[in-house]
A = this chain, B = another copy of it.
Amino acid sequence: MDKGELFQQFVRFTTSVHQVTNDMTKEIRIENITTVQYKILEFITVSQPVTLSEVSECLHLSLPNSSRELKKLIQNQLCEKIIVPNDRRKFDIRLTEKGTALMNKVFQQLELKFQERIYNLTEPELKEIQEAIKILQTKFFA
């Protein structure tokens, strides 16, 4: 296997992924939520409960900045701190009901776009795609 060529394919592929997901999420604009705040919400959604340090590390934000943005999300009642018993320095972050409802709506919009995109694919093609995602997920992006 020519690993250099594989890298080229990888670059083209990840570029495509970014472009497509950018286009899919592009129009999703939530009131009073900035891009960074949305990313935090998204991260909480798929990983909750999370700590602030995890937000900070995974999203490459400094702890002070993470703290600031979280504060705004909490003010908007989209997420909340939950005290964790064994370590009183930390806390878990979770979506509130309002936050959950919001993210559900967002993901529904996304799913619609996704369904449009796969609408013209056949059943075997869908199976192929599912298999391909599984392979990349477990072998490379784990």
Contact = CB atoms under 8 A, between A and B. Distances in A.
Contacts of A10: 114, 133
B58 A137 contact: no
A12 to B, nearest CB: 7
Interface in A1-46: 1, 3-4, 6-7, 9-22, 26, 42, 46
Interface residues of A, number: 50
Q: Tell me how many chains of this kind the complex includes.
A: 2
A131 to B, nearest CB: 8
Q: Is chain A's binding surface mostly helix, strand, loop or mixed?
A: helix
Contacts of A135: 128-129, 132
Contact of A136 (B7, B11, B115, B132): B132
Interface of A: 1, 3-4, 6-7, 9-22, 26, 42, 46, 58, 60, 107, 110-111, 114-115, 117-118, 121, 123, 125-137, 139-142
Given A118-B140, A131-B132, A132-B133, 8 more contacts: A4-B111, A6-B118, A7-B114, A9-B134, A11-B107, A15-B42, A16-B141, A133-B136
